[in-house]
Amino acid sequence: MKDMFKLDGKIAIVTGGAGGIGEALALGLSIHGAKVVVSSRNQEAIEKVASQISKASGNEAIGIACDVTDEASMTNLVDAVVKKYGRVDILVNAMGMNIKHDAFQYPIEDWDKLFNVNVKGTMIACKAAGKAMREQKKGVIINLSSVRGIRGYTGGNSGYCATKGAVELITKSLALEWAPLGIRVNAIGPALIITPGTKHIAQNPELAKKYASLVPMGRIGLPEDLAGACVFLASEAAGFISGQTIYVDGGLTAA
């Protein structure tokens, strides 16, 4: 029962690791002992984040660029990590995007773009890391869903909600398919979190008040609010948990 949350020596890939949430999750894993490979399409951005993480935690962190929508690119990332470290213990899929449109006006090209990253990208990343984990007979995958994966939403979010619903069911299906292989697949479902993409909300007092009032705990989330759930799901403390989403939402989905 000792040290259940320790990730010492574990090798973690965080896709979307240069994003607001990905960086916080990568830092959380790193502080708890994992060697973290931060990934996104922008090599300069991930190298900067990896260096900051390494400085803060004292553990090795590197950046390797990858486009999750390109299967060859994702496979190259996993191959490079296996070549360098011999294994992949943890995959966190913190990449993602939103494109908002009124449903009647939703351009189908934008619908495709959104599904390409959020749904296809999640599957490609799971598939590539899952193959390495199958060889090891052990591994943990954590996908980023959202409270919008189980709740519809207005404001042009039909596409986003649909992609996150898909992420929820990719998570459950892979959890079932890969449980016999020793691979656990779970998700984190955040409510609104202040990141570079949503900081305009925090900066607008009226909007900030409105969003905070929707959350039973009365505040908007921060990226670091998600790190505990990520470390927990990645660790032996969650060794018998698979196919679940932990909603980190200040109580929002309790209603």
Ligand X SMILES: NC(=O)c1ccc[n+]([C@@H]2O[C@H](COP(=O)([O-])OP(=O)(O)OC[C@H]3O[C@@H](n4cnc5c(N)ncnc54)[C@H](OP(=O)(O)O)[C@@H]3O)[C@@H](O)[C@H]2O)c1
Catalytic positions, written as ranges? 160
159 binds ligand X (CB under 6 A): no
152 binds ligand X (CB under 6 A): no
242 binds ligand X (CB under 6 A): no
Q: Which of 198, 76, 101, 88 is nearest to 142 (CA)?
A: 88
Q: Which of 200, 167, 187 is nearest to 97 (CA)?
A: 167
198 binds ligand X (CB under 6 A): yes
Q: Which stretch binds ligand X (CB under 6 A): 51-59, 150-158, 170-178, 187-195?
A: 187-195
Site pattern 7..46 for ligand X (x: CB under 6 A):
--------xx-xxxxx-----------------xxx--x-
Q: Which stretch binds ligand X (CB under 6 A): 2-10, 93-101, 207-215, 234-242?
A: 93-101
146 binds ligand X (CB under 6 A): yes
157 binds ligand X (CB under 6 A): no
119 binds ligand X (CB under 6 A): no
144 binds ligand X (CB under 6 A): yes
63 binds ligand X (CB under 6 A): no
Q: Which stretch binds ligand X (CB under 6 A): 100-108, 134-142, 168-176, 195-203?
A: 195-203
Q: Which two tokens stand for residue 211?
A: 């969003």
Q: Residue 102 phi/psi, 5° resolution? A: -55, 140
Q: 249 in helix, strand or coil?
A: coil
Q: Which two tokens stand for residue 33?
A: 């002992």
Q: Are the CB atoms for 74 and 128 separated by under 8 Å?
A: yes
What does the alpha-carbon distance between residue 150 and residue 191 come to, in Å, rounded to a whole number?
Answer: 11
How many alpha carbons lie under 13 Å from residue 156 in its C-beta half-sphere?
11
Q: Name the residue nearer to ligand X (CB basis): 6 or 41.
A: 41
250 binds ligand X (CB under 6 A): no
Q: Which stretch binds ligand X (CB under 6 A): 2-10, 53-61, 66-74, 178-186?
A: 66-74
204 binds ligand X (CB under 6 A): no
Q: Read off the DSSP letter of residue 248.
A: E
Q: Are the CB atoms for 41 and 29 separated by under 8 Å?
A: no
Size, binding site for ligand X by CB under 6 A: 30
Q: Name the residue nearer to ligand X (CB basis): 15 or 186.
A: 15
Written as one letter, the residue type at 182 is G
Q: How far is the CB of 253 from ligand X (least distance, A)?
A: 12
Q: Read off the DSSP letter of residue 17.
A: T
Q: What's the order of all strands across the beta sheet hosting 139-144?
A: 61-63, 35-39, 11-15, 90-93, 139-144, 183-190, 245-248
Q: Which two tokens stand for residue 106?
A: 């939703």
Question: What residues line the site for ligand X (CB under 6 A)?
Answer: 15-16, 18-22, 40-42, 45, 66-69, 94-97, 117, 121, 144, 146, 190, 192-193, 195-198
